[in-house]
Structure 1
Amino acid sequence: MSGGVVRRPIWAAVAVLGALLAVGGPLSSCNSVDSAVKEISYPLRHEDIIRQQARDKNLDPALIAAVIYAESGFISGRTSVAGAEGLMQITPETARDIARRSGGTAFTLEDLATPQINISYGSYLLRELLDRYDGDVAAALAAYNAGPGNADKWGGSQLKADEIPFPETRAYVEKVLTAQAEYRARYNKELGPAP
């Protein structure tokens, strides 16, 4: 009996995926159930922008994709309770600072809704944090999520993800690191090589 209970939801999910593939639904660009499952579990959009920013800022494109996945799920209209905007959830204050320091144009709040600008600013911040923490991805991600002041208090470049005292930040770092490995494994061709 329990086997039937487990199988029904799985078969129902497969049936829904098949229907979406057949009728040209949101997954119509997927050519198989496997690619549809890949797209649902780890979506990917804006690959061209991600590749370009990864090249420009010497970042792993899978890391950029993983941060976007954790921050917004690739939904560009997201706004956090803290006021962070867009795909990489950049606050207006951080965006103004990045625009000023990077020699960019005058910043407007609407810029954060533009994938090119949002991913550029988020990638700039990631590069800056990786440089600050001697390439330590966990420390850079902790700083991206909770601020550099907190990451410094927690050990900076000596930080261990499982020792982060804020449960939300610890879960965030673990989620991004897991997603980075998944994006690298699932989308290596689309994202291109790591530096």
Structure 2
Amino acid sequence: MKSKMKIVAVVLIIIAIFSARSVVRYYFPLKYSDYIVKYSKEYSLDVYFVIAVIKTESNFKRYVKSNKNAIGLMQITPDTAKWAAEKMNITNFNEDMLYDPEFNIRMGCWYLNDLKAEFNNDMKLVLAAYNGGRGNVQKWLKNSEHSTDGKNLDYIPFQETDKYIKRVEVNYRIYKFLYNNTLMSILANIYY
């Protein structure tokens, strides 16, 4: 009788875990996964990192525009997009393209990879630059009030950027927990 009760208890715990995961997935959706997987792979980025950036930037709302004029899923400003389009050899760029999920994710991943190369794969610095500007991060690294070694940020003077990095890190952990098997399945179907 005790072994049957243990089995029932284990089954109930498993059901509770899967039910809770389903509820949490409602608040942490996974949209545009094909594009995210495709361009994360193309630009050598962690899929969950890109998802976390999109969740933090736009909450997967493709038509969102910020008060700073950043557009789309990955919240790219028109000035940054024009510069990136030149670097990416996109000759027909116009601002409306940023509302297209595939284009926005492609450009956002390209830009994250560009920052990754500049900041030696330090994803905290990449996030700081994505949110606060690469020039600001370079200044902070040269300032002993912000960096004791010139390679790591000990203090981020923009509170918004500091909070942004923390939100992306939390979203990263949540998405990795919720979708680990799902994304591996998508990768397997697309690339193998």
User: TM-score with structure 2 length normalisation?
Assistant: 0.78
- CA deviations on 1:19-56 (whole Å, 9 max, x unpaired) are xxxxxxxxxxxxx7434322233221000000000110
Q: 1:158 aligns with which of 145, 151, 165?
A: 151
Instruction: Mark the runs of 5 or more structure 2 residues left unpaired by the alignment.
Output: 1-17, 143-149, 188-192
Distance 1:117 1:77 in 2: 13
Trace 1:9-158 onto structure 2 (pairs within 5 A). 33-155=19-141, 158=151
Distance 1:158 1:86 in 2: 31
Distance 2:53 2:119 in 1: 17
Distance 2:56 2:72 in 1: 12
Say whether 1:184 aligns with 2:182.
no
Say whether 1:167 aligns with 2:159.
yes
How many residue pairs align between the two structures?
A: 161
Larger radius of gyration: 2
- CA deviations on 1:131-165 (whole Å, 9 max, x unpaired) are 100000000000000101111122287233x6211
Shift of 1:124: 0.6
Which letter maps to 2:175?
Answer: Y
SS at match of 2:127: helix
- CA deviations on 1:74-94 (whole Å, 9 max, x unpaired) are 111110111000000001111
Which letter maps to 2:73?
Answer: L
Distance 2:181 2:91 in 1: 33
Indicate the percent of aligned positions where both proteins have the same amino acid. Answer: 35
Instruction: Mark the runs of 5 or more structure 1 residues left unpaired by the alignment.
Output: 1-31
